[in-house]
Amino acid sequence: MSPLLLLLTLLPGVCPMKPIEIYVKEDEMAALYCGESSQSNVRTTWKRCDTKQEVYSDMSASDQRQKGVLVLGNSLVILSASVYHQGNYSCSLKDSSNKAWFTVTVCTAQSRACEGKLQYSSSCYTHEACTLSCPDVNIPPVNITSNGIIWHKGEGGALAIDYFGSVEEKDAGVYTCIRSYLYYGQIYNMTFKVELDVQPSKIPQKYILITSPRNNDEVPVDLGSSVVIPCEAVTYTCSDSDSLFWLIGESFVEINNSLRVFYNYSCNNSTEKIKITASLVIKEVTEEDLSEQYICKLESDHQNSDFVTVNLILKVRPSYIPLTLCIVGFMAVMVVTSVVYVKFKVDITLFFRDTLGCHSSASDGKSYDAFLMCYESSTGAGINASDRRCLESILEDRFGYSLCLFDRDVLPGKDVAEAVLDCVELSRAVVLVPTSPDPVGPGSGLLSAIHEALVERQTRLVFISTETTQSPSLPEALHLLCEAGHHVTWRGSSCLQPSSSFWKQLRYYLPAPKHTLKVQLLPQSVQDVTS
Ligand SMILES: *[C@@H]1O[C@H](CO)[C@@H](O)[C@H](O)[C@H]1NC(C)=O
Ligand SMILES: *[C@@H]1O[C@H](CO)[C@@H](O)[C@H](O)[C@H]1NC(C)=O
Ligand SMILES: *[C@@H]1O[C@H](CO)[C@@H](O)[C@H](O)[C@H]1NC(C)=O
Ligand SMILES: *[C@@H]1O[C@H](CO)[C@@H](O)[C@H](O)[C@H]1NC(C)=O
Ligand SMILES: *[C@@H]1O[C@H](CO)[C@@H](O)[C@H](O)[C@H]1NC(C)=O
Ligand SMILES: *[C@@H]1O[C@H](CO)[C@@H](O)[C@H](O)[C@H]1NC(C)=O
Ligand SMILES: *[C@@H]1O[C@H](CO)[C@@H](O)[C@H](O)[C@H]1NC(C)=O
């Protein structure tokens, strides 16, 4: 404190610093508090620093009472304020540790200076609890006994209570609170106005229990392992965290992580919608846990309670049955396909050949589809001449093969061996037909030459045998040919049924007929050879 200020404080009527403003209703009480001394039992000096140069701290108790003031501890109490008390006051603690200045304004019904000064405001939200509080300004020290606080609606209206369990908009308005004190059998009042503002609710009518978990959710667990089930709710204040909790059946789960089953909760207020999470933790899931009902419950003053129930179910082990079935099914399909193909490959091949026209179209320089050549069946059970003609005509007329026939296409008088080899060369396949007996059948030397030619050109060979023709009984040269060719067995009635298996097999082993190449090359070349 500078000496100048010290000097100024001593001058009457001058308060050097901005004073503390005290407003007190006429006939009511106000206490001026000087502050706390660092030492106990330090006397406080209270005096007027206006035209009334009174030093209250020096007065006797009865003089003080006469002036309507009371020095109590570090406070100066104006018991019943009158115009007399309006003015400036200063206080100082004897050890100079504290000094203060006050301007006291006594408010009458008419005084304009007090407008709004004794009125305070308070706000609450609809549907929330709301407590009105009477301002605790200028209150006297403890030696003056408080006689309680009385609330009125409006100004001197009906008595009111200061607590609303769920405040409504109609509760808004001005309230009056009167603190009353008892001192030496006398009641002293302090009256304030409190304007209550009721604002629209910040809390929604209903919490939203969000998706995790949904009611009747099933949580898959493994026996012996731990499981955490978070339960989340959206709210508007973290103070509601404890309203979300877990039950097992009807018993409460505790928040104690040293237990086997407990829950913990957290509140995330980093977004506008505050999220509270109560996580149920089961450290080691047992068989009995599976039969319990787990209930996450929300209880709140603002709404009906809400809950979701979850159950634990055992995790399903990954199953290999579908895969096995798949593989078995696939293999079965493969086997069936193979069997069907093997069994019906002849029909299938012929079907595609006939319906889709799967013919080889590339020109290979051959003139005939097949060369029909007779061989002498040693057992004598060959194909007779009429059956042979039948064979030839069905192949040519019905199935469209162009044939090289020894007795038709090879001119007589020509060297037999040469002509036969020419025929073999110009044909895509050779069909050996058994006859009995064959006058023009090739000798065994020729058969060997044919065999060589077939092997060299990789020409197809179809070996027709009768039911009685047995390979071992064939001569050596024929035996070789028989081994090299495809076998088709002639049955007695084969010629009569073009749909019989003989025909199917024969056509299967023969290449597809080439319809386009009808140019007769052989006679010319035969002629060339002859000339
Ligand atoms: C109290 O002090 C203020 C200045 O702080 C002055 O304006 C006012 O007149 C004083 N009041 C009285 C009653 O002297
Ligand atoms: C006021 O109360 C305080 C604490 O109860 C006590 O120490 C003090 O003596 C009392 N003063 C008077 C004047 O009664
Ligand atoms: C103090 O308040 C009470 C209750 O409102 C009232 O009955 C009493 O008259 C008031 N006393 C004074 C001195 O105003
Ligand atoms: C938690 O549970 C353990 C074991 O039951 C117990 O010893 C401990 O006192 C509990 N702690 C609290 C805070 O309840
Ligand atoms: C609750 O406990 C679980 C499991 O111990 C843990 O993962 C989670 O972080 C805990 N949450 C809080 C908020 O402590
Ligand atoms: C709170 O929520 C926000 C947004 O969802 C997220 O980014 C943040 O990590 C959360 N904080 C905690 C402590 O969970
Ligand atoms: C979130 O909560 C923390 C602690 O509970 C608090 O300090 C912080 O002010 C809150 N933030 C919001 C946006 O409510």
- DSSP class per residue in 199-210: EPPSS-SS-EE-
| Backbone phi, psi, residue 396, to 5° | -80, -50
| Backbone phi, psi, residue 477, to 5° | -65, -45
Q: What is the pTM of this model?
A: 0.42
Ligand having the closest approach to the CA of 152: 3
Residue among 279, 280, 285 to mutate when testing ligand 5 (max atoms within 8 A of CB) = 279
DSSP, res 19: P
Band the pLDDT of 473: cuts 50, 70, 90.
Answer: low
Cα(277) to ligand 5 centroid in Å equals 10
Cα(111) to ligand 4 centroid in Å equals 65
Most confident of 102-106, 428-432, 525-529: 102-106
Please give the single-letter amino acid code of residue 438.
Answer: D
Residue 294 contacts residue 312 (beta carbons within 8 Å): yes
Band the pLDDT of 205: cuts 50, 70, 90.
Answer: low
260 lines ligand 4 (CB under 6 A): no
Q: Residue 374: which of 423, 471, 427, 439 has the closest Cα?
A: 439
Q: Residue 31: which of 154, 188, 171, 219 has the closest Cα?
A: 188
Which domains are delineated in the chain? Answer: 2-107 (2.60.40.10), 119-199 (2.60.40.10), 209-314 (2.60.40.10), 370-524 (3.40.50.10140)
- What is the residue with the minimal CA distance to atom 5 of ligand 3? 178
Across the strands, what pairs with 149? 179
What's the whole-number mean pLDDT along residues 246-271? 91
Q: Residue 145: which of 178, 188, 177 has the closest Cα?
A: 188
pLDDT tens digits, residue range 262-317?
Answer: 999 888 888 767 788 999 999 999 999 999 999 999 887 766 778 899 999 998 87
Cα(259) to ligand 4 centroid in Å equals 7
Query: Which residues lie with the beta carbon below 6 Å from any ligand 3 atom?
Result: 27, 150, 178, 180, 187, 189
Share of the chain above pLDDT 70, in %: 82
259 lines ligand 4 (CB under 6 A): yes
340 lines ligand 7 (CB under 6 A): no
- Dihedral through CA 49, CA 54, CA 56, CA 58, nearest 10? 120
Please give the single-letter amino acid code of residue 49.
Answer: C
Cα(475) to ligand 5 centroid in Å equals 96
Task: Indicate the length of the chain as a whole number.
Answer: 531
Cα(8) to ligand 1 centroid in Å equals 14
d(CA 244, CA 429): 92
- DSSP class per residue in 355-370: HH-----S--S-SEEE
State yes or no: pLDDT of 409 exceeds 70.
yes
